[in-house]
């Protein structure tokens, strides 16, 4: 399998060089671009697995650029921004970016996010699904682009990144027993330090957060094997 | 409705004119009232008799002797004079019609003599003065020597004189008050400047001077706001721009071979990042608040507590599993996070309580640290203030932690209180209205 190709769009030359080097050291093939036209050129040079996009490029704003890319292709996009505001993050994710990374970031964080996005994209392609944006169970709503969960009464219920990934894994395989090792693997995508025990902790926290009075908790434990997501899941 | 605004001077002159006009009207009315005084019936009887005698005697005398005859008719009680022509009859003091009626009542014949009576001041009270016409068209002028007993004269006059004065005082006060009303509105608006409500434009109304003042104030307020806005934007831009070199530094320091140096540099970069983040949050909270949505605040607080325990800190959550509230989630999360971080900075453990008390939502963050000296509690909430500096401790950050909490709480119209617990430690409490 050849190295995944990443198009890196960043206007600061030094930061671009440093980021490119960090990516190459971790086994990615990098095509660099300083502006929007250069990015389109990079697309023409062969298939691309992921775009790392600075949100505040001169000329075109990263948000517009993201919209344009999304119109032409399904390639995963990770936003990089110095703004770091919640509204920016949500806007970027709603426009079809797959994840958001605030400056400054460490190599470890960058690689973890890229792996997570590539893995998610891979899983979705395997499932043959389109990019579904929402899932529902027991009256709860899960918005994947915004990484947001709403209770049956419509209140936002905060999940950590790892908890959301775990929930996404459950929603991908409802009513099927998922082995603990498999969950570790699925949720390791975040920061890479999940252990068996911390998966149990994560599951219990998630179970508590998406519990509702008068409802059976949707996540059940299968002794000695793993967990099962009991609720029926619909997607839209 | 653009009325031509009167000057303050014009307005006050108008008020004066109005009060004078009313004073005039009131006086006229009261003099009318003043003509209804009466005298003792015995005095009226005696006067009537004397006048009838004087009329009879003078009519009988030839014209040339009448002046002397009149002088003879002067007694120790009445002064009598004769005048061939009609004497001057002043409008003031007014005619005492009731007295005239009293007199003519005793001697009906006097009714046809054009008798007029007045009260005239004298050294020892009021005397009755008047004149009457003889059959041939000449006149008798007379005056009592001794003061007559005028019924309730002094008290009533004082009272009726006080009524218009009080009335005018009240009216004048009300009118001037309404003239100054726009000024008071302006004072209130000035009092609100800088309290974080943005620009409050005061409506231009009132007199020309006050309109000018309000116009100038609105302009000043707008300019100050723009100035602050520009500074804020510049500061925010610097904050953003610093993140790019910081990102370079972050990637570069990963190449540093020496483990200790690298860790120290990583701490420095993280600290700078935290400072920029808190600065941007503080500036952002001022002018770009996020919209309020329904959010599970119990889960939010529990998540922050779990985050602290994951980092190996002693944090506990006490409260319901779910509690939904309408709030601005990222501001509120930041506020709770700052209070929890403060608690863990000064103490070893923190307990976060979420509860609904009456209609209010209460967050209580208790630590086991040293607390804050009561005199410094207010100081602690001001931006860029770090109590540690005074206490000789080294702390990270810009001193915006509690200021950001204040800001977030103010956006929700809530209250933040800091208090020292009896058993030691600080209790920070956020109360949000329902």
Interface with B, mutate which of A157, A201, A211 (most B CBs under 10 A): A157
Last residue of a domain, one of B283, B300, B322: B283
The model's confidence at residue A92, banded by pLDDT at 50, 70 and 90, is confident
CA dist A180 and A199 (Å) reads 8
Contact between A104 and B249 using a beta-carbon 8 Å cutoff? yes
Domain match, A223 and A156 both: yes
Which position has the token pair 């031509």?
B4
CA dist B43 and B81 (Å) reads 20
Domain match, B99 and B220 both: no
Range of the domain at A177: 132-233
Helix residue ranges per DSSP H, B288-312 = 297-310
Torsion of CA B371, B352, B415, B400, to 10 degrees: 60
The model's confidence at residue B396, banded by pLDDT at 50, 70 and 90, is low
Domain match, B48 and B107 both: yes
What share of residues in chain A are helix, strand, coil (percent, to 5)?
A: 40, 20, 40
Report yes or no for ipTM above 0.90: no
Provide the shortest C-alpha distance from residue A122 to chain B (in Å).
28
Q: Is residue B161 part of a domain?
A: no
The model's confidence at residue A133, banded by pLDDT at 50, 70 and 90, is confident
Give, as one character, the DSSP assignment of residue B150. B
The reply to whether omega before B93 is within 30° of 0 (cis) is yes
Q: Is residue A127 part of a domain?
A: no
Q: How many domains does chain A have?
A: 2
The residue among B33 and B183 whose pLDDT is bigger is B183
Any A CB within 8 A of B299 CB: yes
As separate numbers, helices (DSSP H) first and strands (DSSP E) second, chain A gives 8, 13
DSSP string spanning A23-64? Answer: HHHTT-EEEEESSHHHHHHHHHTS--SEEEEETT-SSS-HHH
The model's confidence at residue B149, banded by pLDDT at 50, 70 and 90, is low
Report chain A's terminal Cα–Cα distance, integer Å.
33
Range of the domain at B254: 208-283
Which among B247, B303, B321 is the nearest to A158, CB-wise? B303
Element (H, E) at B420: strand B415-420
| CATH code where residue A15 lies | 3.40.50.2300
- Of B114, B168, B110, nearest to B138 by C-alpha is B114
Helix orientation angle between B208-253 and B8-34, rounded to the nearest 10 degrees: 140
- Looking at residues A7-13, what average pLDDT do you find? 92
CA dist A176 and A170 (Å) reads 9
The model's confidence at residue A141, banded by pLDDT at 50, 70 and 90, is very high
Strands of B78-83's sheet in order across: B78-83, B139-144, B125-133, B116-122
CA dist B45 and B103 (Å) reads 6
Q: How many domains does chain B have?
A: 3
CA dist A11 and B14 (Å) reads 71
Q: Is residue A125 part of a domain?
A: no
CA dist B341 and A46 (Å) reads 48
Q: Is residue B19 part of a domain?
A: no
| CATH code where residue B233 lies | 1.10.287
| CATH code where residue B390 lies | 3.30.565.10
Q: Is residue A50 part of a domain?
A: yes
Domain match, B125 and B46 both: yes
A64-68, B137-141, B315-319, B392-396 — which is least confidently predicted? B392-396
Domain match, A86 and A157 both: no
Backbone angles phi, psi at B13, to 5 degrees: -60, -40
Domain match, B293 and B427 both: yes
CA dist B367 and B349 (Å) reads 6
Query: Pairing mode, if any, of strands B349-357 and B314-318?
Result: parallel
Last residue of a domain, one of A69, A84, A119: A119
Instruction: Strands of B9-88 (E only): list them.
Output: 78-83
Residues B186-216 have pLDDT tens digits of 888 888 877 666 677 888 888 888 888 999 9
CA dist B286 and B193 (Å) reads 14
Strands of A29-33's sheet in order across: A29-33, A5-9, A50-54, A77-81, A99-102
Domain match, A98 and A16 both: yes
Last residue of a domain, one of A76, A97, A119: A119
- Looking at residues B58-75, what average pLDDT do you find? 84
CB neighbour class for B374 (10 Å; exposed up to 12, middle 13-18, buried from 19):
exposed
Contact between A208 and B294 using a beta-carbon 8 Å cutoff? no
Q: Is residue B269 part of a domain?
A: yes
Last residue of a domain, one of B283, B316, B345: B283
| CATH code where residue A174 lies | 1.10.10.10
Q: Is residue A12 part of a domain?
A: yes
Domain match, A142 and A227 both: yes
Domain match, B250 and B332 both: no
Residues of A in contact with B251 (CB under 8 A): 15, 18-19, 22, 104, 106-107
DSSP string spanning A108-167? Answer: HHHHHHHHHHHHHHHHHHHHT-----EEEETTEEEETTTTEEE-TTS-EE---HHHHHHH
In this structure, chain A runs to a length of 236
- Looking at residues A103-116, what average pLDDT do you find? 89
Provide the shortest C-alpha distance from residue B191 to chain A (in Å).
33
pLDDT at A59 (0 to 100)? 61
Asked if the model's pLDDT at residue B288 lies above 80, the reply is no
Q: Is residue A126 part of a domain?
A: no
Domain match, B407 and B313 both: yes
Last residue of a domain, one of B236, B257, B283: B283
The model's confidence at residue B311, banded by pLDDT at 50, 70 and 90, is confident
Domain match, A148 and A115 both: no
Cα R_g (chain B), whole angstroms? 46
Domain match, B46 and B142 both: yes
Interface with A, mutate which of B251, B255, B267, B295 (most A CBs under 10 A): B251
3-class SS at A79? strand
pLDDT at A103 (0 to 100)? 87
Domain match, A93 and A150 both: no
The residue among B181 and B300 whose pLDDT is bigger is B300
Domain match, A97 and A146 both: no
Domain match, A110 and A181 both: no
């Amino acid at each position: 399998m050849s190295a995944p190709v990443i198009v890196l769009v960043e206007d600061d030359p030094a930061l671009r060089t440093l980021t490119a080097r960090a990516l190459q050291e971790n086994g990615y093939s990098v095509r660099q671009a300083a502006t929007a036209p250069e990015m389109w050129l990079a697309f023409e040079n062969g298939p691309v697995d992921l775009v790392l996009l600075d949100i505040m490029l001169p000329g075109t704003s990263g948000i517009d650029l993201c919209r344009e890319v999304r119109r032409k292709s399904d390639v995963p996009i990770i936003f990089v921004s110095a703004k770091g505001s919640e509204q920016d993050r949500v806007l970027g994710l709603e426009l079809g970016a797959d994840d958001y990374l605030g400056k400054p970031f460490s190599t470890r964080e960058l690689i973890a996010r890229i792996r997570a996005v590539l893995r998610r994209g891979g899983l979705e392609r395997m499932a043959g699904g389109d990019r579904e944006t929402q899932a529902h169970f027991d009256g709860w709503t899960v918005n994947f682009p915004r990484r947001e969960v709403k209770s049956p009464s419509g209140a936002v219920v905060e999940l950590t990144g790892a908890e959301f990934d775990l929930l996404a894994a459950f929603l991908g395989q409802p009513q099927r027993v998922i082995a603990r090792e498999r969950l570790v693997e699925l949720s390791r995508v975040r920061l890479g330090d999940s252990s068996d025990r911390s998966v149990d902790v994560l599951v219990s926290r998630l179970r508590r957060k998406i519990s509702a009075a008068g409802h059976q908790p949707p996540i059940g434990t299968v002794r000695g094997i793993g967990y099962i997501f009991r609720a029926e899941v619909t997607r839209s | 409705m653009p009325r031509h605004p009167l000057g303050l001077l014009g307005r006050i002159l108008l008020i004066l004119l109005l009060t004078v006009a009313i004073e005039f009207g009131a006086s006229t009315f009261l003099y009318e009232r003043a003509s209804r005084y009466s005298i003792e019936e015995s005095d009226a009887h005696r006067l009537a008799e004397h006048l009838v005698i004087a009329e009879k005697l003078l009519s009988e005398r030839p014209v040339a002797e009448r002046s002397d005859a009149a002088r003879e008719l002067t007694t120790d009680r009445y002064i009598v004079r004769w005048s061939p022509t009609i004497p001057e009859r002043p409008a003031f003091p007014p005619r005492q019609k009731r007295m005239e009626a009293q007199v003519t009542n005793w001697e009906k014949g006097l009714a046809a003599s054009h008798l007029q009576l007045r009260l005239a001041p004298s050294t020892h009270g009021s005397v009755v003065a008047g004149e009457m016409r003889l059959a041939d068209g000449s006149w008798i002028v007379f005056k009592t020597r001794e003061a007559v007993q005028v019924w309730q004269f002094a008290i009533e006059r004082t009272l009726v004189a006080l009524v218009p004065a009080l009335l005018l005082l009240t009216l004048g006060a009300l009118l001037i008050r309404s003239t100054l009303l726009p000024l008071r509105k302006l004072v209130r608006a000035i009092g609100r400047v800088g309290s974080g409500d943005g620009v409050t434009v005061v409506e231009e109304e009132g007199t020309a001077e006050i309109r000018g003042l309000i116009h100038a104030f609105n302009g000043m307020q707008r300019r100050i706001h723009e100035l602050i806005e520009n500074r804020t934007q510049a500061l925010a831009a610097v904050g953003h721009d610093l993140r790019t070199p910081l990102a370079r530094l972050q990637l570069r320091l990963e190449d540093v071979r020496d483990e200790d140096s690298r860790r120290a540099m990583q701490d420095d970069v993280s600290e700078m990042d935290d400072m920029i983040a808190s600065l941007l949050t503080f500036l952002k909270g001022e002018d770009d608040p996020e919209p309020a949505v329904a959010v599970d605040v119990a889960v939010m607080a529990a998540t922050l507590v779990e985050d602290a325990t994951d980092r190996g800190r002693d944090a506990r959550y006490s409260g319901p599993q779910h509690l939904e509230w309408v709030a601005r989630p990222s501001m509120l999360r930041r506020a709770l996070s700052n209070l929890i971080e403060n608690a863990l900075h000064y103490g070893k453990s923190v307990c976060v309580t979420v509860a609904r008390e009456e209609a209010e939502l209460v967050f209580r963050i208790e630590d086991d640290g040293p607390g804050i000296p009561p005199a410094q509690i207010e100081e602690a909430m001001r931006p860029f203030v770090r109590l540690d500096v005074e206490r000789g401790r080294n702390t990270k950050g810009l001193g915006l932690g509690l200021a950001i909490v204040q800001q977030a709480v103010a956006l929700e119209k809530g209250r933040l209180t800091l208090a020292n617990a009896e058993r030691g430690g600080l209790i920070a409490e956020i109360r949000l209205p329902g």
